[in-house]
Amino acid sequence: MNRFRNRRLAVAAAAAVVLSFTAAACSDDGGGGSGGGDDEKITVGIKFDQPGLGLKTPDGKYTGLDVDVATYVAKELGYDPGDIDWKEAKSADRETLLQRGDVDFIAATYSITPQRSEKVDFAGPYLLAHQDVLMRSDDDSITKPADLNNKKLCSVTGSTSAQNVKTKLAPQAQLQEYGGYSECLTGLENKVIDALTTDDTILAGYAAQPEFQGKFKLGGFKMSNENYGIGVQKGSELKAQINEALEKMVADGSWQAAVDKNLGPAGYQNEPPPKIGVVVP
């Protein structure tokens, strides 16, 4: 993975040459982007279906917090946005994509766990998320997890989030499993269900969409800790370079601006940026 460090140095050297040539020639020609000197690309895995985090829009653009974080990191590695090949990284495919070398790194609501760390390495974490509950903004009946008893609680099929609530916090919750979060949101809006549970970032991402703003609210229950990291191949030197980029993103204010832009409209209250290498249990 030395090509990333080498590319950054090469880009800087090329920029110096261009500036020197321009000064000598007194040319008025406009310069290109910092990563435009060659056709080399970087491949980044993200989610394509999570509003506010990683979403491929109908017009082919990519938006969300993970997209903004990945774009910043790629810039620090020497790549312009146009140099990024975005690849869908579904939850079940992430380790395989990294192990096969199909992607250079993955930023896709990728929680750092001991099991995953046996297969891949993680830079970060860059965000501390929590399992939470989304409810209608006019519903004051759910003020703590235990209030979910006898309530219709929704999550997607196969998710561990709703089971976690049912087994540990509200055993009498009426679990409803739908095919996708958008279906849960429709049910919540139509009062077919009472609450939706998963990571607070995912909930905030959906609630921040224009069609849902003002309709839902987060419980703020913090029922688990989810340390989002950037996945790389096991043993990759890229981990250290990404950590440097994440530290810079926090220091220059870009990290907070990205969180506010993508999740703020839902009233999401983020934790302070986590310290690199510190995973909150």
CB distance 110 to 232 below 8 Å: no
Given 218, 253, 274, the domain boundary residue is 218
**Domain assignment of residue 270, yes or no:** no
Q: Does 235 reside within a domain?
A: no
Residue 255 and residue 124 in contact, taking contact as beta carbons nearer than 8 Å: no
Contact 212/246 with Cβ under 8 angstroms?
no
Please check whether residue 203 lies inside any domain of the structure.
yes
CA 258 vs. chain centroid, Å, equals 11
Q: What's the structural domain count of the chain? A: 2
Report the CATH number that the domain containing residue 191 is assigned in CATH.
3.40.190.10
| 260 located within any domain | no
Residue 54 is assigned to a structural domain of this protein: no
Determine the structural domain holding residue 166 and report its residue range.
Answer: 129-218
- Apex 84 CA angle, 79 and 88, nearest 5: 150
Angle between helices 200-207 and 254-263 (to 10 degrees): 60
Distance CA 214, CA 138 (A): 10
Residue 6 domain flag: yes
Q: Would you state the pLDDT for residue 30? A: 37
d(CA 218, CA 207): 9
With residue 229 as reference, give the H or E element that holds it.
strand 225-232
Q: Domain end: 218, 243, 267, which one? A: 218
Q: What is the reported pTM?
A: 0.85
Note whether residue 183 is domain-resident.
yes
Domain end among 218, 251, 271: 218
Mean pLDDT by 10 residues, the chain (281 residues): 61 48 43 46 96 97 98 98 97 96 97 96 98 96 97 88 89 93 94 96 94 94 96 98 98 98 93 96 95
> Is 259 within the bounds of a domain?
no
Beta strands 152-156 and 174-178, pairing class = parallel
